[in-house]
Structure 1
């Protein structure tokens, strides 16, 4: 039995969401990734040091995703004790999947309105991240990633909406871990490779295929719910 309580399809789907949302991640995080690279004096830019900084940043970022997923899942488990709430959260989860599909397919960008809500609180957290710049040590990169993991992002909020329908903090954390792992390729590649990856992810055929897969998963979840 899967110790997380999550079957492979949801985890695989969460990974795909992160992967296909990579173009969005490049746009939002390219500045901080550049800061990690160019703030280090040339004499200190050894391959091992730079790899350590990039990995530290991404580990911190994904850890914050997991923490948020666990917190949201805990809230979901608490409120689901009320009659009918569990079913409502499952419907919400499927709705968030559909909204994410529309976002990835570039049909509807309503998730950006959700980001506007988070920006009200981000202005209080962002200064903490800036105190860690310039980043020259792995622990600084780790802490900066942990702060940047709370950057307002519609894709992350959609995943948290999905985490709300899970039943345990571990499930919520694992779902966000899979999503965070999916975002790694877009943030680890640079230069020409990043441009090529961005082009692939932004192609209309790729976006539409991803959207259809996501909507299919949402319908599958609803079918499982009805059978239960």
Structure 2
């Protein structure tokens, strides 16, 4: 992988952590649906709610892992075609460009991810009826399946990180990239009070978001620079 693995992994983690406000706006309705479908006594007891929340988010992480492995494998397959070796450099350019765009998003300087979100609407239209049949969620098994489907919701952050995972050209690296993104979203979506509060406070500080954005853009620019000086 031409781009630094550390840089790609850190980018995915930062996007998940500091993009939490976006995640809550996209997924808040699904989280509410899970909660409202449970027995009132369970809803009043955070400890009894925890297994459902864990199953929900475990399913979501599994969906991200599968998606990352699939697109990373797709990148690897493309690179096996002798007549399309130029794709290797194109994938590296894609990774660098997406990292720059994600950095701009984190910093709050440009929000072009809505274009990416629109591309996923066709897939979600097929999955949404399946997800609707699982509601109301009555068991942790339902929550697990619901979480897996939730991973494919049309979200600019998810799809942008998936594009970065394609460029790893490795099922394992692609899966790890998506896992790091998913772990970054956990503080906000799992409802861990202390971590979620800390993440929210960081995300509210313009300088912190801008610093993270510049760091992510730096990884992307470095990746593009490497492509320019390779071969």
CA drift of 1:31 comes to 1.4
CA drift of 1:185 comes to 0.6
Aligned residues: 223
Gaps of 5+ in 2: none
State the match for 1:3 in structure 2.
Answer: none
State the match for 1:159 in structure 2.
Answer: 161
CA drift of 1:40 comes to 1.1
CA distance in 1, matches of 2:178, 2:27: 18
- TM alignment of 1:166-181, pairs within 5 A: 166-181=168-183
- TM alignment of 1:47-62, pairs within 5 A: 47-62=46-61
CA drift of 1:48 comes to 3.7
Distance verdict in 2 for CA 1:21–1:172, change over 3 Å: same
State the match for 1:117 in structure 2.
Answer: 119
Structure 1 residue ranges, 4+ long, deviating more than 4 angstroms after superposition:
190-197
Q: Is the 8 A contact 2:63 2:148 kept in 1?
A: yes
* 1:123-160 per-position Cα deviation (integer Å, ceiling 9, x unaligned): 22111111111112111110000111100011111111
* 1:13-39 per-position Cα deviation (integer Å, ceiling 9, x unaligned): 321121111111111111111222232
TM-score by length of 1: 0.89
Tell me, yes or no, if structure 1 residue 23 matches structure 2 residue 25: no
Q: Is the 8 A contact 1:97 1:215 kept in 2?
A: yes
State the match for 1:8 in structure 2.
Answer: 6
CA drift of 1:178 comes to 0.7
TM-score by length of 2: 0.87
State the match for 2:70 in structure 1.
Answer: 71
Aligned-partner SS, 1:133: coil
CA drift of 1:223 comes to 4.5
Gaps of 5+ in 1: 1-5
State the match for 2:205 in structure 1.
Answer: 203
The counterpart of 1:38, out of the listed 36, 39, 44, is 36
CA distance in 1, matches of 2:75, 2:198: 39
CA distance in 1, matches of 2:18, 2:178: 15
Distance verdict in 2 for CA 1:13–1:194, change over 3 Å: closer
CA distance in 2, matches of 1:190, 1:75: 35
